[in-house]
Structure formats: structure tokens, C-alpha cells
């Protein structure tokens, strides 16, 4: 097995619906896997492009965005190492519904679409797990629509901070170089000035502490309450 491809295994094994593969399946999957590198700001694919591969992030971060005709950007997601990108598009055999851009120097595993579809035919249990994953994505999308239409910017910001913190025992969120207020605003469907006020409000209430390199969660319970408002 080529050296670069052997590095793909730890990333791909994190994807639940690939867990049903036997050794033969893994061999075929890795044979169809290639490593691609991208520079900061580089477009990986454009909305409307035809899908030819399934992507998994190996190193770095990318963002999924919708762009208006006037250039306004709505960020749908930030995706980091070990996470898949375009599962629905690959299995639906449809064009990309959004644009993918590298936020920093990054590397992505690309798995040939035809090889992945062939594995889906060979392993019915894989198909069931893919359906479960896509159902979860649908529920996440419904939650996103609910947040944008029914919750305040401060509540949406609180929710994003809690998602970034995850289950970590350390209440610290590192601020990556690209994680500017403009990027946060684009994700939450607002403008940087509003994000700045929301961060300041959370800090004034004693829920968070903000500096250039990190955000410290001071009161997780109250921040969870704020995320529901």
C-alpha cells in the first residue's frame, strides 16, 4: 500500500458507514483514494460543479458556503480533520449545491465516486448506515433553519460556541487565524458589528471571556440557557 494512502485509514475509519467493510472492501476503497492539497482561499469545488469524488479532510479546515449574485456569503459549515464533506451529493449523483473553500493550507482525501457507489451495492449494511447519516444531516438542516428564523444572534452565537467546545473538560476554545468576526457573521447570517456586540454582551454577563487567541467559557450552564432563547 503506498505510503500516503496508508495514512488515509485512520481518517476513513472514523466514518461510521465505512465500518461495515471487510478487508476486501477496504482494499478497494483505498485503491480509489487520492490525496489532494489546497492553499488558503483556494476553491476546492464550485456550486453547480458535477461531483466526481467523496471528500474527507485529512489536515486543515474548509468552509461550505452559498454565494449570492452580489457576493454575499452564507457559511453553512466549517469542516476539519477526519470529517466528511459531500456525502449527500455523492450518493444522489447530483451537482454540488454549495461551494467549498480552503480556510488554511489543507489536504483532503478524494475517493472516486464510482468506486464508492460500487461498494454501496456490495454491502447492504453500508447503505443502511448511509441512510441513518443522511437522516441526521436532514435533522441538522432543520435545526439550522429554526435557528436562523426563530433565535436571536446572541442565542445562535452561544449555540455555536457550545458546539465548538463539545465535550471538552477544558472550557477553552482556541481562535484559529481565519476565525474572524466576519467569518462568524457569515455563518450566523448577520454582519460583523452585530457579532461584536453579541460577544461583548456575553462577556458583560460573565458567560465568556474573549481575547485574540481564545474564548474561555466561564459559565457553561447559563450559556446553554442563552442558546435556547
Distance from C-alpha of 141 to C-alpha of 136, rounded to nearest angstrom: 9
Cell of 198: 453579541
Q: Which of 148, 172, 200 is the last residue of a domain?
A: 148
Mean pLDDT for the stretch of residues 180-204 = 89
Q: In this structure, are 15 and 127 located in the same domain?
A: yes
Q: In this structure, are 100 and 125 located in the same domain?
A: yes
pLDDT at 4: 64
CB-facing half-sphere around the CA of 136: CA atoms within 13 A: 9
Q: In this structure, are 135 and 199 located in the same domain?
A: no
Mean pLDDT for the stretch of residues 54-71 = 89
Distance from C-alpha of 55 to C-alpha of 100, rounded to nearest angstrom: 11
Distance from C-alpha of 122 to C-alpha of 21, rounded to nearest angstrom: 9
Mean pLDDT for the stretch of residues 23-32 = 94
Q: Which DSSP letter does residue 84 get?
A: B
Percent of the chain at pLDDT > 70 equals 96
Q: In this structure, are 81 and 179 located in the same domain?
A: no
pLDDT at 88: 87
Q: In this structure, are 142 and 157 located in the same domain?
A: no
Percent of the chain at pLDDT > 90 equals 54
Q: Which of 99, 114, 148 is the last residue of a domain?
A: 148
Q: Among residues 204, 174, 222, which one has the least CA distance to residue 61?
A: 174
Q: In this structure, are 17 and 65 located in the same domain?
A: yes
Q: In this structure, are 175 and 130 located in the same domain?
A: no
| CATH number (domain holding residue 205) | 1.10.10.10
Q: In this structure, are 188 and 94 located in the same domain?
A: no
- How many distinct structural domains can be found in the chain? 2
Q: How far is CA 207 from CA 111, 196, 210, in A?
A: 43, 15, 10
Q: In this structure, are 85 and 26 located in the same domain?
A: yes
Cell of 78: 466549517
Q: In this structure, are 192 and 83 located in the same domain?
A: no
Checking if the pLDDT of 3 tops 80, the result is no
Cell of 200: 461583548
Q: How far is CA 17 from CA 52, 79, 84, in A?
A: 19, 18, 11
- Which domain, by its residues, includes 127? 3-148
Q: In this structure, are 85 and 158 located in the same domain?
A: no
Phi, psi angles (nearest 5°) of residue 161? -65, -40
Residue 124 CB burial class (10 angstroms; 0-12, 13-18, ≥19) = exposed
Mean pLDDT for the stretch of residues 100-113 = 95
The rounded mean pLDDT for the chain is 88
Distance from C-alpha of 33 to C-alpha of 211, rounded to nearest angstrom: 40
Mean pLDDT for the stretch of residues 114-133 = 92
Q: In this structure, are 110 and 164 located in the same domain?
A: no
Name the pLDDT band for 98 (thresholds 50, 70, 90): very high
Q: Which of 116, 148, 180 is the last residue of a domain?
A: 148
| CATH number (domain holding residue 76) | 2.60.120.10
Q: Which residue has the higher pLDDT, 65 or 142?
A: 65
Distance from C-alpha of 141 to C-alpha of 224, rounded to nearest angstrom: 20
> What's the maximum distance between 2 C-alpha atoms anywhere in the chain?
57
Amino acid at each position: 500500500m503506498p505510503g500516503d494512502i496508508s495514512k488515509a485509514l485512520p481518517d476513513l475509519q472514523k466514518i461510521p458507514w465505512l465500518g461495515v467493510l471487510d478487508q476486501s472492501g477496504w482494499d478497494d476503497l483505498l485503491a480509489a483514494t487520492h490525496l489532494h492539497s489546497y492553499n488558503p482561499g483556494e476553491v476546492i469545488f464550485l456550486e453547480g460543479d458535477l461531483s466526481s469524488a467523496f471528500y474527507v479532510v485529512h489536515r486543515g479546515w474548509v468552509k461550505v458556503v452559498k454565494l449570492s449574485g452580489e457576493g454575499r456569503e452564507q457559511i453553512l459549515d466549517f469542516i476539519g480533520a477526519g470529517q466528511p464533506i459531500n456525502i449527500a451529493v455523492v450518493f444522489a449523483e447530483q451537482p454540488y449545491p454549495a461551494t467549498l473553500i480552503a480556510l488554511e493550507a489543507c489536504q483532503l482525501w478524494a475517493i472516486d465516486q464510482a468506486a464508492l457507489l460500487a461498494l454501496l451495492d456490495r454491502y447492504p449494511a453500508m447503505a443502511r448506515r448511509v441512510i441513518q447519516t443522511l437522516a441526521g444531516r436532514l435533522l441538522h438542516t432543520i435545526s439550522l433553519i429554526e435557528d436562523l428564523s426563530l433565535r436571536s444572534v446572541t442565542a445562535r452565537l452561544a449555540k455555536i460556541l457550545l458546539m465548538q467546545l463539545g465535550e471538552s473538560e477544558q472550557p477553552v476554545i482556541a481562535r484559529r487565524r481565519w476565525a474572524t468576526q466576519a467569518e462568524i457573521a457569515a455563518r450566523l447570517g448577520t454582519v460583523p458589528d452585530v457579532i461584536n456586540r453579541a460577544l461583548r454582551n456575553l462577556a458583560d454577563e460573565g458567560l465568556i471571556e474573549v481575547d485574540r487567541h481564545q474564548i474561555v467559557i466561564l459559565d457553561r450552564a447559563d450559556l446553554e440557557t442563552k442558546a435556547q432563547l
